[in-house]
Amino acid sequence: MITKQKGMVDVYGDYSKKWMYIEDAIRSVFEHYNYNYIRTPILEASELFHRSVGDSSDIVTKETYDFIDRGDREVTLRPEGTAGVVRSYIENKMYGDAIQPIKLYYSGTMYRYERPQSGRLREFSQYGCEVLGTNDPAMDAEIISIPVNLYKLLGLKNVKVKINSLGDEETRKKYHDALKKYFKDSIDTLCDDCKERYNKNPLRILDCKVDGDKEIIKNAPKILDYLSDDAKNRFEMVQKYLDLMQIEYIIDENIVRGLDYYNHSVFEVVADVKDLGPGSVLCGGGRYNKLVSELDGPETSAMGFAGGLDRLLLVLEHEDIKLNIKNEIDAFIMYVNDLEKEYAISLNQALRMNGFTTDTEYNGRNLKGQFKQADRLHARYLIILNSDDIKNGNVKIKDNLTKEEQIIAEADLVDYLDMNS
């Protein structure tokens, strides 16, 4: 038997209904914020991710699915959404559009070759947004507010926002030097990855999954102590706008995020989740004002966030949150003989074209079996056909809630369902 690849998942049945519900909620929230949908290719040139994400990131050094295609080109399955959106922004010259800034959202499949575990797979779905063309601190606050409002809409409690600033170039240089000096005599006590990060980007040491709980890392210099005046003022403005939007937050100097392209605002939204522990990360993001130019585009300020859809579904399940999913159909059409079946097929089509969710019998069950099938499908109404009614232009309909039965004209069926649904 051929089985799915390790770390991949089939989405079907009730799980797929929850999946689609969440995607609809994501779409609704972004559209209320006036964001436009973007869909980028799953397969991109490897250079895109190696340049954008940064060579010190675990994504590039350990996790990307890299291939040589039949045209001898180096290609990669996308491990995250931002780089593809930025590539599209540059390639399609969106920076020249009349409406600025460009506000985009996405939801799609990503791939990372890592050890599969609950809520973290090799194939996973990620949702997020990117805003390109503004450096306004108010936009930082808007982007932070989006996932907060999404999680509230879905019924999550105990949601917390953690924010930090990685500062500007002046800040990063001073902080880079401070970290090099701090870790110089102790770098040999850290993992091999951290030793490599020490030379490439010592800031990434603070995000280490292996040594992150060691005192040497916990006691490292904090970046907020090195903010330039401009970066400090900007961070204060972000906090002011969050206060105006009544978004509660805490400042967490340990948030540095896992990608090399961030500067200024970075944030995570976390929640205390049953069985998953306190501070479970739901999403994260930040500002990346240099990424567009580093990918050969014009100087463009930008910011975004991303969250895992698989992870969100897991969290909702652990919190016992019941989603308002439609798990029933409007009507099930029943018949006995071939003439009635032909009528059922025609009526099925007509009702669907009028916006109703309907079904009928396809496996040759008798009436008793059809009643059971209708119950399995949670049909609100049963349309029970017989030849005499059909000749007279009528149908029998049964309300499964009230158990009331009546015969009505087939021409009145759509109005009847409209008024009683």
Report the distance separating Cα 333 and Cα 380, nearest Å: 11
Give the confidence band of 60 by pLDDT, cuts at 50, 70, 90: low
Contact 272, 280 (CB under 8 A): yes
| pLDDT at residue 62 is higher than 70 | no
Q: Are 336 and 386 in contact (CB under 8 A)?
A: yes
Q: Which sequence spans correspond to the domains of the chain? A: 13-167+246-318, 169-227, 329-420
User: In this model, does residue 59 exceed pLDDT 80?
Assistant: no
Tell me how far apart the alpha carbons of residues 312 and 154 are, in angstroms, rounded to a whole number.
10
Residue-wise pLDDT for 313-326, tens only, equals 999 999 999 998 88
Using one digit for the tens of pLDDT, what is the confidence trace for 367-404? 999 999 999 999 999 999 999 999 999 999 999 999 99
Share of the chain above pLDDT 70, in %: 96
* Whether the predicted pLDDT of 261 surpasses 80: no
C-alpha 59/C-alpha 109 separation (Å) is 15
What integer best gives the mean pLDDT of the chain? 91
- Give me the mean pLDDT over the 151-174 stretch: 91
pLDDT, tens digit (0-9, with 9 covering 90-100), for 335-356: 999 999 999 999 999 999 999 9
359 by Cβ neighbours in 10 Å (0-12 / 13-18 / 19+) ranks as middle
Global pTM value: 0.88
pLDDT at residue 27 in the model: 97
329-420 adopts what CATH topology?
Rossmann fold (3.40.50)
Q: How confident is the model at residue 279 (pLDDT cuts 50, 70, 90)?
A: confident
Q: Let me know: does 195 contact 187? Beta carbons within 8 Å.
A: yes
Residues 313 and 311: their CA atoms lie apart, in Å, by 5
Residue 54 has pLDDT above 60, yes or no: no
> What CATH fold (topology level) applies to the domain 13-167+246-318?
BirA Bifunctional Protein; domain 2 (3.30.930)
pLDDT band at 53; cut points 50, 70, 90:
low
pLDDT in tens, 115-134: 877 667 899 999 999 999 99
DSSP state of 336: S
